[in-house]
Structure 1
């Protein structure tokens, strides 16, 4: 049967896909491990086959035409499905596999769980590596679709992940208050006691800090922010001044109290945080990713118990 697909060299679609992502022949050639002239020639053949310029040069980048925009999604999906099928043709063997697992995760997971993940990966998949980037204000659909990431660790109720991603609960961990060792705060801290001192705000973008402010507002009080920092790194030194309180996930609180002169206090009432794993439907059946997800679930069960999350707490917008 004579169809447009039958007359098209399918290798050209891979070039088109990378050009849509990079909008630059030089960068596309580097990613494809081809010469610039080969990529330009392939684009010329594709333009001729489809009867459309596909990209128009501007001063800054190659701008896709409407035809190219219409093709981009189906081509990316088709190539991803093909890649997935080729990977599934061979069962994932962690003992011999050579793979990089790429995830986005909040700072609390990096501090509290990442060493355990790395150790387990080294024991069971010694030739695999892990790359972690900080969770950001993104819906992550494009990063997961392109394969730049395998999984995203996010928060239930934060509305920061694309609704087209699959998601499943990983573990539940409440927020706690940290005070300098020797403080007179009780073991369980009420909203009025929590606002007695200025706070360290631990993220320029973060669900947990938005939840604290939402929780305090419901109680009719507001905290004073003494200092705002982008991560947890400076918290121990700032707390050593004795001036501040800080609210963090419990896994961070336990980590800091183990190594620094700090006390941990439960909040009354509790503010739970539900951590999610999310990914793209195109890689939902990828054997390597399914194995990695199982490893993460196993680690969470050992740390936090087998009981699934049942309460999701307040869910304001994370910004």
Structure 2
């Protein structure tokens, strides 16, 4: 039997969308601020309307049927477009808006730019706030489509993001080497000087470190890794031992060489790292995200003198 949209209670589609995400009636009821019995009754109505069980209980969660899987994408997109349209109809005034901007980004950007992002929001959008999670091994299409994230900051040329996302270059920041003060190394380092001591390998993502290894391989040399770290947090203390060198983005290197007895060396030839911003096509016209992106492009120019590439 063909179902007319006019005969379907559209509130049931919101329920379906939440159930697809939670796979649990109790959690869905909590998110919708409804009782479990109300959610169960509504699911029964939707099953009857669509003539399909939609979800089947397993040992751990409710598993969607093939019909539910086919519906999930179109329903999520339709609801996201409606939510976006409602926000746009209201307009976005940063001075009065109340919103959370959610981003995934690499550790270098967290260390180098998140404090400036927070200050930007405090100054221009005082009722908005920032939530950040670390860049992970995901293509981020699902997280952005579901609205769990607004923007992802990744690396140009790394091919780690879904091709269905929009993306634009944000800024370029070359890699530099840090050595202990009075290390005797020249101001500019070539491949041979760069492998003169063991290295600290930073970040769990490791894109910049992979670029270093590719760069060294071009010249037929290989570095020794002394320590592998998931972030930059322990770098200053380890560098105080005077046993290591570390290659980091220049924005990180400037901070560390200012705050600790470390010397910054440019690499020759340079190793540029290009950061990009990406998002879901559903958010491409979201006024709040467009405003935030514009401010981030301006921030890249103002902070550390980074080389802006988009905007």
Q: Give TM class, smaller chain.
A: over 0.9
Q: Which runs of 5+ in 2 are unaligned?
A: none
Q: Which runs of 5+ in 1 are unaligned?
A: 311-319
Q: Contact 1:165 / 1:281 at 8 angstroms: preserved in 2?
A: yes
Q: How does 1:73-84 map to 2 (within 5 A)?
A: 73-84=73-84
Aligned residue in 1 for 2:60: 60
Output the TM-score relative to the length of structure 2: 0.96
Q: Contact 2:191 / 2:221 at 8 angstroms: preserved in 1?
A: yes
- Secondary structure in 2 matching 1:246: strand
- Secondary structure in 2 matching 1:78: helix
Query: What CA distance in whole angstroms lies between the structure 2 residues aligned with 1:73 and 1:287?
Result: 23
- Secondary structure in 2 matching 1:270: coil
Aligned residue in 1 for 2:190: 190
CA drift of 1:184 comes to 1.1
Count matched residues: 309
Query: What CA distance in whole angstroms lies between the structure 2 residues aligned with 1:179 and 1:212?
Result: 16
Q: Which runs of 4+ in 1 moved over 4 A?
A: 304-310
Q: How does 1:53-202 map to 2 (within 5 A)?
A: 53-202=53-202
CA drift of 1:138 comes to 0.9
RMSD over aligned CA atoms reads: 1.4
| CA 1:308–1:101: 2 relative to 1, 3 Å | closer
CA drift of 1:105 comes to 1.1
CA drift of 1:309 comes to 4.2
CA drift of 1:4 comes to 2.4
CA drift of 1:230 comes to 0.4
Higher mean alpha-carbon deviation, 207-216 vs 2-11, is at 2-11
Query: What CA distance in whole angstroms lies between the structure 2 residues aligned with 1:207 and 1:164?
Result: 22
Q: Contact 2:143 / 2:149 at 8 angstroms: preserved in 1?
A: yes
Kindly provide the CA deviation profile for residues 83-131 of structure 1, in whole angstroms up to 9, marking residues without a partner as x: 0000011110111111111111111111111111111110111111111
CA drift of 1:307 comes to 5.7
Q: Contact 1:177 / 1:266 at 8 angstroms: preserved in 2?
A: yes
Aligned residue in 1 for 2:221: 221
| CA 1:144–1:215: 2 relative to 1, 3 Å | same
| CA 1:235–1:307: 2 relative to 1, 3 Å | closer
Aligned residue in 2 for 1:290: 290
Query: What CA distance in whole angstroms lies between the structure 2 residues aligned with 1:207 and 1:132?
Result: 19
Query: What CA distance in whole angstroms lies between the structure 1 residues aligned with 2:22 and 2:35?
Result: 15
Output the TM-score relative to the length of structure 1: 0.94
| CA 1:144–1:176: 2 relative to 1, 3 Å | same
Query: What CA distance in whole angstroms lies between the structure 1 residues aligned with 2:3 and 2:37?
Result: 28
